[in-house]
Amino acid sequence: MAASGGHMSNMELLQQAALLKWLSSQSEEDRGLLAALTRFRVARDLFGRLTGQDQVDAYRRECIVSVAEFVRERPRASQADINAHVEKCVVLFAARVKAAEAAPLF
């Protein structure tokens, strides 16, 4: 999955660099590095999916973006309006996390 802006994440970039190094050398040492990075990436992604942390992180990003867009689109909004929107976003975030915790893994 590409990071924001269409660029590779740090892990993807490291994995691609290791792949390029191995493709140019075909050495066992470079193959081992590529295999280790790939194992780490798969384990990290699997852990995120199994624990639901990926989904929680997505909900958190959506909450932050919603608040930022609200403030950007309403530069003259009162502090009370901003606070009300932030509260609404946080309540939605909490409800989504709670629902995700209750959902079965598979």
Domain ranges of the chain: 8-50, 52-106
Q: pTM for the complete prediction? A: 0.62
Helix (H) or strand (E) holding 64: helix 53-73
- pLDDT, tens digit, for every residue of 14-37? 889 998 998 999 999 999 999 999
pLDDT tens-digit map of 52-91: 888 999 999 999 999 999 999 999 999 999 999 999 999 9
